[in-house]
Structure 1
Amino acid sequence: MAHDLPQAADLAVFIAVIEDGGFAEAGRRLGAAPSTLSRTVTRLERQLNVTLLRRSTRGIELTPEGRDLLMAAQEIVARTEALADLAAGSRAPRGPLRINAPVPYVLHVIAPHLAAFHAQYPDIQLTIDMTDRIVDLIDAHADVAIRFGPLPDSDLLQRRLGQAQWRLVAAPNYLERTGRPKEPADLADLEQVQFASPVHINHLQFKNVRAAITPPASVTAANGEAVRQLVLNGMGIARFSDFMIDADIAHGRVVELFPGQLDIPPLNITALYLTRASGLRRLAVFLDWLETLQH
């Protein structure tokens, strides 16, 4: 006798258990008892005649069959939700949306404006994960990732959100101690707060200057926001993308050096997402909103 196919609602529970890291955590988010969620996963295992999760006192772990189902389940649930979106017509977008983005982008672009987005779309439940490294969207359980610069070839869908220009800055109190440089070559006598990665950010190329200038490091930091704080506190010069530093320039917390003279290509800002998420209205309105913030 043929087995009944799993229901989308049961697959959504399975996804939630994996994304939240356990039955108790998923139960709190879904408003359901952990035992109810456990029975749902057991029902899936019986329907499919496989073991999906290994349960232990340390938590849960996906089996190979569970990982295969997770990928298929995410596709099925997303498509089901996309069809529901179409059927809903003019109803406001709703449902969960998980974002993965670099720390500075979240702090300086998303967070300052998120209250307005939430007021417009109160039924979209955003989860924001912050990391500066490239992540696998499936492993990170993310619907969309925001990334900077050139991207490796992949099967992910892409949407260009905009570009960021570069600014070279220093705090006023730092320039009072060192003197303001009159030409790019003078930067070699200053100190730079350097990025641990990517190191090319530390190399300053100027128009009509043949070689890049790399001032010596006063300190090196692995996080862009840490570099910014060190510059604000007078530790040296550094270059930043405009969305990170323009507010500081406007408020006089830093001074831009040699504006318009950097010869460095702008930074592309791109949204990456899986095919399964492409039909979700909540993703579409979120990306539309992000694009407006770049202008």
Structure 2
Amino acid sequence: MAGLSLCVNEQYRNGPLRRTHELPQTRDLAAFVAVVEDGGFAEAGRHLGVAPSTLSRTVARLEDLLGLTLLRRTTRSIELTPEGRDLLDAARGILTRTEALTDLAAGSRRPRGPLRINAPVPFVLHILAPRLAEFRAAYPEVQLTLDMTDSLVDLIGSHADVAIRFGPLPDSDMLHRKLGRTPWKLVAAPEYLDRMGWPSSPQDLKALEQVRFAAPEHINTLRFKGMPEPLSLPTSVVAGNGEAARRLVLGSLGIARFSDFMVADDIHTGRLVELFAGELEAAPLDITALYLTPTAGLRRLAVFLDWVGGIL
């Protein structure tokens, strides 16, 4: 949560929390959110530089003020009650709006502060990394952290502000924005085709080998327009992620299909060649951003999503 460490630390340095007979104070809500997002009092205390016992008393005081049980505590973990989950959503909104008001009070609407992005390895390497300097030049006060994973992550547990994912999304109550779409390209290294033979029709691909993805399996399906069944090719090697598969294809170990953004430069420079352009039957892949905080209340997230959508 933006400004969370600063909010909690500064408030605790100013003295112990005082019981209010009205609404919960922002610092109390910030402490509660920190405990939930860090998975416990000890971890939140390390993250914020605050004693776990202080955070425990703060949450207990918040529960007493509201007359609600927010957390179920065990010796090793915490669990949100339904009331705690409702408060968590409300507290995030309050803290986001408080940050926006702080920006206004400071006379600045320039996006600033930390932004943690979780994205698949190929997206970071081929989309973000080559052009991230442009974003930094435009928004130098936004402090970016990039985490690279291919699986859908828990945004709370990973402390991520936004996750970028490909393809259909699972049922989720997270906010999301479609950033763009990317077509598929079937490619091979010229050296591999020189050795194995250049195919003149999709049927000729049966004489070649395929670099296969460990998951998801649908990426390995090679279906062409006008052909009732997908082609079945012998496997050369199985790769655990898209970037590994790309490296193997560049190393003349077989053919594979990739999102266009992963191999566009390779095709342009001649390191790879596209096979049967326009004949591969595969729907373009959606690229979507998922997040928990409305972009209207987190300006650095809003400008980042606008920027990514503009370069795709």
The verdict on a shared fold, with TM-score over 0.5 as the criterion, is yes
> Once structures 1 and 2 are overlaid, which stretch shifts more, 67-76 or 215-224?
67-76
Structure-1 residue corresponding to 2:160: 142
Structure-2 residue corresponding to 1:254: 272
- The answer to whether the aligner puts 1:48 opposite 2:63 as a matched pair is yes
Give SS of 1:138's match: helix
Instruction: Give 5+ residue unaligned stretches, structure 2.
Output: 1-18
CA distance in 1, matches of 2:45, 2:137: 30
8 A contact 2:259–2:285 mirrored in 1: yes
Deviation, 1:225, is 1.0
CA distance in 2, matches of 1:106, 1:125: 16
Residues 142-191 of structure 1 show CA distances to partners (whole Å, capped at 9, x for unaligned) of 22221212223433322221110111111122112101111100111110
Change (3 A) 1:67 1:197: farther
CA distance in 2, matches of 1:273, 1:126: 15
Structure-1 residue corresponding to 2:80: 64
8 A contact 1:143–1:277 mirrored in 2: no
Identity percentage of aligned residues: 58
2:47 to 4, 26, 32: 26
1:190 to 184, 208, 227: 208
Deviation, 1:4, is 5.7
Query: Superposition RMSD on alpha carbons, in Å?
Result: 2.9
Q: Map residues 86-235 of structure 1 onto 2, 5 A cutoff.
A: 91-235=109-253
The amino acid across from 1:261 in the alignment is: E
Give SS of 2:143's match: strand
Change (3 A) 1:285 1:88: farther
Give SS of 1:268's match: strand
Deviation, 1:136, is 3.2
CA distance in 2, matches of 1:119, 1:14: 35
Change (3 A) 1:38 1:173: farther
CA distance in 2, matches of 1:190, 1:121: 48
Q: Map residues 75-90 of structure 1 onto 2, 5 A cutoff.
A: 75-85=93-103
Give SS of 2:193's match: helix
8 A contact 2:38–2:157 mirrored in 1: no
8 A contact 1:94–1:121 mirrored in 2: yes
Query: Structure 1-normalised TM-score?
Result: 0.83
Q: Across the two proteins, how many residue pairs are aligned to each other?
A: 285
Change (3 A) 1:16 1:252: farther
- The answer to whether the aligner puts 1:270 opposite 2:288 as a matched pair is yes
Deviation, 1:18, is 5.8
8 A contact 1:17–1:25 mirrored in 2: no
The amino acid across from 2:302 in the alignment is: A
